Structure formats: structure tokens, C-alpha cells
């Protein structure tokens, strides 16, 4: 007996899979050089039976979890936390009071927010104050030569 979020199912086989990605770089002679290894999400295929008077309700509960993308907890010969990526059921004469099923589970990691709710509402930034120099205006001298002066934001000449 196994459970998927406390829904009892009879699991016939569990097939956990652990895969990795390996980056390869070709070289002139010999085999390719492998320089990086990264783990992929774990997966597990399960197959079995859902039987009993509440078999239809258990199937519907599992389908609801699958459609919503809810994180499930599978407890059987293996322990697995993830989502149901596929679910197939077979309804035939061999299982009189239920159905057989195949499902694929995939590991999920949930990212946590880096936002801290304990920060004060107003945070001072550490930046230099903004200085407005103004614009240059030509001013005529008495001898007919022009000189550039600065006019600041208050309107004073410098």
C-alpha cells in the first residue's frame, strides 16, 4: 500500500530516475572533454491499482492534484515530493472494483522570495546629492568681448 497525499493506492512498481546534464567540448583527438555536470530534476514512474468503493473518488482527487499542479507527497517503497506530470488510467474487466494506473512524478524546487518583510518602510539611499549647475549664458563685457558665466538654479550669475 502507498499513499499520494493520503489517498491510498496499490503500487505495483516504482521506477525512480536520477539524471544529470554533462557539457562536452570536442577536441581533435580522442573523446570529448566533459567540463561541467549539473543534476536534473528527479523523476519517478509508478504503476498500480486503485481499488475499493471509493476508487472513483481517489482517482478524481489525484486528477485534481495533477491538473492544479499541486505539490504532492508520495509514500511507498520510496519517498518522493514533487508534482504529477502525467496520469493515465485503464478501466477494463480485469479490475472489477477499480482501475489500473500509470503516473509520472517530477521533483520540484520552490524558490523563496528574497524580500524581507522586516525592512523599514523608508530606506535612505546612499547617493551623492544632485547638483544643478544651470546653463551657460553669454554676457557682454564693456570692451565688446563675450564671457561665459554660469547661472545656478536660484538665478544668480557666477
Identify whether 14 is part of a domain: yes
Q: Which pLDDT value is given to residue 147?
A: 56
Specify the CATH number for the domain of residue 77. Answer: 2.40.30.200
Identify whether 155 is part of a domain: no
pLDDT digits (tens, 9 = 90+) for 44-59: 999 999 999 999 999 9
Q: Grid cell 479490475 — which residue?
A: 95
Overall domain count for the chain: 1
Identify whether 45 is part of a domain: yes
Low-confidence ranges of the chain (pLDDT < 50): 125-127
Domain assignment of residue 86, given as a range = 2-25+32-107
Bridge partner list, 79: 75
Give CA–CA dist 119/153, Å, rounded.
36
70 Rama sector, left if φ>0, alpha if ψ -120 to 50, beta otherwise: beta
Q: Which pLDDT value is given to residue 126?
A: 46
Identify whether 11 is part of a domain: yes
Identify whether 98 is part of a domain: yes
Identify whether 97 is part of a domain: yes
Amino acid at each position: 500500500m502507498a499513499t499520494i497525499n493520503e489517498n491510498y493506492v496499490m503500487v505495483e512498481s516504482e521506477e525512480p530516475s536520477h539524471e544529470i546534464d554533462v557539457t562536452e567540448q570536442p577536441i581533435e583527438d580522442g573523446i570529448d572533454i566533459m567540463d561541467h555536470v549539473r543534476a536534473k530534476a528527479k523523476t519517478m514512474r509508478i504503476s498500480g491499482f486503485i481499488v475499493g468503493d471509493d476508487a472513483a473518488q481517489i482517482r478524481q482527487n489525484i486528477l485534481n492534484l495533477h491538473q492544479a499542479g499541486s505539490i504532492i507527497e508520495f509514500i511507498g517503497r520510496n519517498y518522493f515530493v514533487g508534482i504529477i506530470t502525467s496520469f493515465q488510467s485503464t478501466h477494463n474487466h480485469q479490475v472489477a472494483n477499480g482501475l489500473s494506473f500509470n503516473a509520472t512524478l517530477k521533483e520540484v524546487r520552490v524558490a523563496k522570495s528574497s524580500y524581507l518583510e522586516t525592512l523599514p518602510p523608508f530606506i535612505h539611499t546612499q547617493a551623492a546629492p544632485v547638483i544643478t549647475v544651470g546653463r551657460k549664458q553669454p554676457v557682454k563685457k564693456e570692451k565688446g568681448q563675450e564671457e561665459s558665466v554660469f547661472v545656478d538654479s536660484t538665478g544668480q550669475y557666477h
